[in-house]
C-alpha cells in the first residue's frame, strides 16, 4: 500500500481571519488614497487601457514588490518574531532611505504610522507596537506590516500572500478610477495579478533569505512619474 502523508495542517481560524483583515481595503491605513504612480502613468499616456494597465501592474509586482517591498516585509516579520530590534530599525531605515520621491516617502510614513496606531489598539498589552511607533523618524509601512504579520500567527508565505492580494486589490481599484476601467475590466485585471502572485511571493521569500543585498528598489520610470505627479494639475490620488 502506498504511504499516505498527512495533509498540511490548516491555518488556524484566528490567523486566517487576521490575514483577511490585513488584506481588506477597509483597514484604516489610507491605502485607497494612493495609486503609486499609476495615475501619473495614465496622465502621461503610458497606461491607456486595460491591456496597458495589466502590463504596468504585472511589471510593478515583478520589478518592485517581489524584488524590494515584500522581501523587506518578510525580513521585518522575522526580526519582530525573534525580538531583534536592531534588525527592525535597520529595515525601517532601508524603507525610508529608498523612497525616491516625496510622495512615496509620505505614503510609507503615513501608512506606517496609521498601521502602528491600529496595532497598538489591537494589542495593547504587547510592547512591540509601542516600540514600532517609537522608530524614527517614523515607523515605515513595510516595518509596520512586518509586525502585523508576526502578530497574525500565520506562516510567512500565507501572510505575504495576503499582503500581495491587498496590494493587488488596491491597485486594481486605482486603475478602475484612473484609467478608467469598468468593474468587469477590473476583475480581469485582478485575475491576472492573482495568477502571478504566488511566484512573486516565492521570489520575495527567496530574496529575504539572502538578506538585504538581494533587496532591490530600482524603478526609475516609476520614480520619474511619481515626481511628475507632485505637480500634476488634476489628481484623484496622493501618489
Q: For position 4, what pLDDT does the model report? A: 47
What CA–CA distance (Å, rounded) separates 130 from 118?
Answer: 11
Q: What 3-state DSSP class applies to 87?
A: helix
Q: For position 8, what pLDDT does the model report? A: 59
pLDDT at 237 over 80: yes
CATH topology of domain 36-227: Urease accessory protein UreF (1.10.4190)
pLDDT at 239 over 70: yes
- Report whether the peptide linkage leading into residue 176 is cis, meaning its omega lies within 30 degrees of zero: no
SS percent in the chain: helix, strand, coil, step 5: 70, 0, 30
- Kindly report the CA angle at 234 between 231 and 235, in degrees rounded to 5? 85
Judge residue 53's burial from the number of C-beta atoms within 10 Å of its C-beta, 0-12 exposed, 13-18 middle, 19 or more buried: buried
Q: What 3-state DSSP class applies to 219?
A: coil
pLDDT in tens, 15-43: 888 888 888 878 899 999 999 999 999 99
Average pLDDT over residues 94-104: 95
Q: For position 9, what pLDDT does the model report? A: 60
pLDDT in tens, 190-223: 999 999 999 999 999 999 998 888 999 888 999 9
What CA–CA distance (Å, rounded) separates 199 from 102?
Answer: 31
Q: For position 16, what pLDDT does the model report? A: 86
Q: For position 6, what pLDDT does the model report? A: 46
User: Mean pLDDT lowest for which of 15-24, 80-89, 148-157, 163-172?
Assistant: 15-24
Higher-confidence position of 82 and 3:
82
Q: For position 1, what pLDDT does the model report? A: 45
* Cell numbers found for residue 73: 516585509
Amino acid at each position: 500500500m502506498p504511504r499516505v502523508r498527512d495533509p498540511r495542517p490548516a491555518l488556524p481560524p484566528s490567523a486566517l481571519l487576521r490575514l483577511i483583515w490585513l488584506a481588506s481595503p477597509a483597514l484604516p491605513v489610507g491605502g485607497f488614497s494612493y495609486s503609486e504612480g499609476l495615475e501619473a502613468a495614465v496622465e502621461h499616456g503610458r497606461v491607456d487601457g486595460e491591456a496597458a494597465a495589466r502590463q504596468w501592474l504585472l511589471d510593478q509586482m515583478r520589478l518592485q514588490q517581489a524584488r524590494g517591498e515584500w522581501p523587506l516585509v518578510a525580513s521585518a516579520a522575522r526580526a519582530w518574531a525573534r525580538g531583534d530590534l536592531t534588525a527592525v530599525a535597520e529595515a525601517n531605515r532601508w524603507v525610508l532611505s529608498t523612497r525616491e520621491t516625496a510622495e512615496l516617502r509620505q505614503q510609507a510614513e503615513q501608512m506606517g504610522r496609521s498601521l502602528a496606531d491600529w496595532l497598538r489598539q489591537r494589542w495593547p498589552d504587547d510592547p512591540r507596537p509601542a516600540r514600532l511607533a517609537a522608530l524614527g523618524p517614523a515607523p515605515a509601512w513595510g516595518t509596520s506590516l512586518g509586525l502585523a504579520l508576526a502578530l497574525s500567527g500565520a506562516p510567512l508565505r500565507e501572510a505575504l500572500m495576503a499582503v500581495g492580494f491587498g496590494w493587488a486589490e488596491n491597485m486594481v481599484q486605482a486603475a478602475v478610477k484612473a484609467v478608467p476601467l469598468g468593474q468587469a475590466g477590473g476583475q480581469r485585471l485582478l485575475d491576472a495579478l492573482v495568477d502571478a502572485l504566488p511566484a512573486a511571493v516565492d521570489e520575495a521569500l527567496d530574496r529575504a533569505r539572502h538578506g538585504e543585498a538581494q533587496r532591490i528598489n530600482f524603478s526609475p520610470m516609476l520614480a520619474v512619474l511619481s515626481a511628475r505627479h507632485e505637480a500634476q494639475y488634476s489628481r484623484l490620488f496622493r501618489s
